[in-house]
Amino acid sequence: MEGKAGRSLLKEITKYVGRLGRNIAVPPHPSIDAGAERLMGLTRVYATDPALGVPDEDLGYFAFHFSASDVAVLGAEPKLMTSTILLPADASDDLALKIAKGIDWEAYRYGVTVITGHTGRYESVKEPVVVTTVIGEVREPVTPKLARVGDRLLLVGTPGAELLYGIAHFNPALLEERFGKRTVERWKRARWMLTAVDSARDLVLFSRVNGMKDGAEGGLIRLLNDFADAAELGFTVNRDLIPFPPELLRLGRERGFDPMAASSSGVVLAAIPGNLPLGFLKDLMESHGFVVRIIGELRKEGREFVAEGEVREFPSPEEVRDPYPDLTQVS
């Protein structure tokens, strides 16, 4: 299966870590997308990600935000960045510069310095691939290991927005014939929804947070399972409270996929202590332009969701396929 490796493989991969120093604050973990080390009174956070399979004009944007989002959900402020731009052998200088300028624009906006990198053309590379590492700083990292039974699960962002963005760019007829050209154009411009940097930053500014995780491939199914694996807890989620876009729900019914499995970069799941004023936090985040829902809570064990009043066992990522590869290809 293409895309990010499954949990069983990552569990094995993260055993091979070389020499694990005593200053490591967040070691490699199959369900946490960043690592951290303690250095003289602060913690330095590292995250790396590839960006590929997106429109060339947005590649620099995602190259920055995919890695920066993983840093931000550990509560850290992105500071430094490395960039590796791998291009097909026949790629133009203009394409390389377009990608570099896209990275530069986002890095400048967030006060991040690109300190080194690599750019090259290769016969074995069939489409542009940009691999970035973002380095951030924080006093104490926020990880799901801080989560406790009774914490409420706050969902920030729009589940499935990444899938709809991809369809709008690569298979627009699928949206146009159902919803019209204006819907296609709206989702084509939705890249701003696919970053967790701003929402994660605001959450740790406004509230105590006992762990965050951002979405990506596998949607909410992988997101919730990964969070629970890292926290070593269970959860109950009310599916009816999840703010799925209407376009996603209709496509799910017609194409037979679970909207909870749809690619969801930009979504943040946060564990918030239940004794805090959650209504106030929700209103505050919404006043900053975020879509926010309180969708459930953490429990000691078990993973379940409620839909239309019926309690069901929550699926694992291995049971449900992300529809992104199928729906973004023109049939």
We report the CATH number of the domain holding residue 201 as 3.90.650.10
Choose the final residue of a domain: 92, 114, 138. 138
Per-residue model confidence as pLDDT tens digits over 169-223: 999 999 999 999 999 999 999 999 999 999 999 999 999 999 999 999 999 999 9
> What pLDDT score was predicted for residue 1?
54
| Domain identity same for 42 and 148 | no
| Domain identity same for 111 and 161 | no
- Asked, for residue 285, whether it belongs to a domain, the answer is yes
| Domain identity same for 108 and 75 | yes
- Asked, for residue 154, whether it belongs to a domain, the answer is yes
| Domain identity same for 258 and 233 | yes
| Chain centroid offset of residue 290 CA | 15
Choose the final residue of a domain: 138, 170, 190. 138
| Domain identity same for 87 and 160 | no
| Domain identity same for 132 and 163 | no
| Domain identity same for 211 and 262 | yes
| Domain identity same for 266 and 157 | yes
Choose the final residue of a domain: 78, 113, 138. 138
Q: What angle do CA 216, 218, 223 make, to 5 degrees?
A: 65
Q: Residues with Cβ < 8 Å from 99, sequence gap 6 or more?
A: 56, 59, 60, 63, 85, 128, 130
| Domain identity same for 152 and 49 | no
| Domain identity same for 104 and 174 | no
> What pLDDT score was predicted for residue 244?
98
| Domain identity same for 17 and 133 | yes
Q: Taking the model in full, what pTM does it have?
A: 0.95
> What pLDDT score was predicted for residue 12?
92
Three-state DSSP at 258 gives coil
| Residue range of the domain that includes 288 | 144-327
CA–CA distance, 202 with 283 (Å, rounded to integer): 13
| Domain identity same for 111 and 190 | no
Q: What angle do CA 70, 32, 328 make, to 5 degrees?
A: 65
Using 50 as the pLDDT threshold, list the residues of the chain that sit under it. Answer: none
- Asked, for residue 322, whether it belongs to a domain, the answer is yes
- Asked, for residue 316, whether it belongs to a domain, the answer is yes
